[in-house]
Amino acid sequence: MDKSHEVDFYVMTPRSHPQDKTADERDREDLARLGKKQVLKRNFGFLSMLGFSCTMLVTWEGLLVLFVQGLTNGGPAGLIYGFTVAWIGTLAVFLTLAEMASMAPTSSGQYHWVAMLAPPSCRKFLSYLTGWVTVTGWQAFVASVCYLSGTLIQGLIVLENPDYEPKLWHGTLLFWAIAACAVFVNTVVSRVLPTLEGFILVFHVLGFFAIIIPLVYLSPHTSSHDVFGHFLNAGGWSSQGLSFFMSEEIRNPSRVVPASMLTSILLNGVLGFGMLVGVLFCIGNLDDALATPTGYPFMEIFLQGTGSRKGSAAMISIVIILGVCATIAVLASSSRLTWSFARDRGLPGWQYLSRVRSYHHPSY
């Protein structure tokens, strides 16, 4: 850790904001109270941060993409009840994270909070360990979102052209293309990122209705018993029984970060639950959905429901675009965390990684 601010890093001083100070001055004082120096520009407000959080969570989009795991290891009813329990648990976790983000709004996130709250005898070790776990986890998150978006594009090609034979290297090229797009937005045009996230928020909500309305209207519906009472065990189990890293770029982060976190959980939870119920009522032939050559059952469900390849392709394209947008947000969050950990000398090569040039933000 950077010894120049070691004392302030572990002990927060009380807030004291005279009324004659500007919002930017108060934000800088809050950061100094945590032992940090203001380096990044504060370009995000509540709506842009809400868009950032919702885009990164991609709840209803993620439900469609990872539909097969829940479907084979629980069935429709398992998905419904599992989502409800997971939503309640996630909300409880985010309530705690929101409180911590309000107290200490810094890009360091969890490892800073561990350093503040852990016993003095082991706080350095636990903070260092937490930093490495979160940094590596977020880097892996970037890779996984790029991979999923790339394979979604391959699935769409298979749907439109059944003669297409997907190759592994095709997916690799798509992976790197999506990663390059995310890097471009986070570096070359990083100044428009807050505005872009606001537009993505609108697309995130409108895209939900653009998919759910034609799907529910055109598809034949299954019975409520099949949705809420049908469990499926096809996974080999013996019984049937995962924003604050952007804090240093947000105006008034002690209020905006917690509010955007909780609002995104509530909004995405409602949209996710609505999409899940709608898709399960329109699931059609379950065996055909699981055996689809696209690799993603929701694509087959769209095709069965609408009876149109072009219409299904348009609906799938919405999911793919939002997946690419999620990659941009995940990379932004991951890069801020990596930069912050390097600033505290937790990474090899911290002298280089902790630099912030005037014309762009961290992108690693």
pLDDT in tens, 180-238: 999 999 888 888 888 888 899 899 999 999 999 999 999 888 888 888 887 776 555 44
Instruction: Provide the 8-state DSSP code for 35.
Output: T
- Specify the pLDDT at position 1: 44
What distance, in Å, lies between the first and last C-alpha atoms of the chain? 20
The mean pLDDT value for 137-147 works out to 93
Please state, in angstroms and rounded to a whole number, the distance separating the CA atoms of residues 263 and 60: 15
The mean pLDDT value for 281-305 works out to 88
Please state, in angstroms and rounded to a whole number, the distance separating the CA atoms of residues 137 and 145: 12
> How far are the Cα atoms of 180, 215, 347 from residue 34, in angstroms, in the given order?
34, 50, 20
Q: How confident is the model at residue 139 (pLDDT cuts 50, 70, 90)?
A: very high
Residue 16 burial (10 A CB sphere; 0-12, 13-18, 19+): exposed
Reported pTM: 0.82
The larger pLDDT score, comparing residue 28 to residue 139, is at 139
Number of continuous H segments (helices) and E segments (strands) in the chain: 16, 0
- Specify the pLDDT at position 100: 82
Report the DSSP beta bridge partners of residue 73. 233
Which residues fall within 8 angstroms of residue 154, CB to CB, at 6 or more apart?
166, 170, 171, 174, 295
Q: How confident is the model at residue 21 (pLDDT cuts 50, 70, 90)?
A: low
- Specify the pLDDT at position 159: 93
Q: How confident is the model at residue 149 (pLDDT cuts 50, 70, 90)?
A: very high
- Specify the pLDDT at position 247: 56
- DSSP per residue, 314-342: HHHHHHHHHHHHHHHHHHHHHHHHHHHHH
The larger pLDDT score, comparing residue 294 to residue 100, is at 294
- Specify the pLDDT at position 130: 92
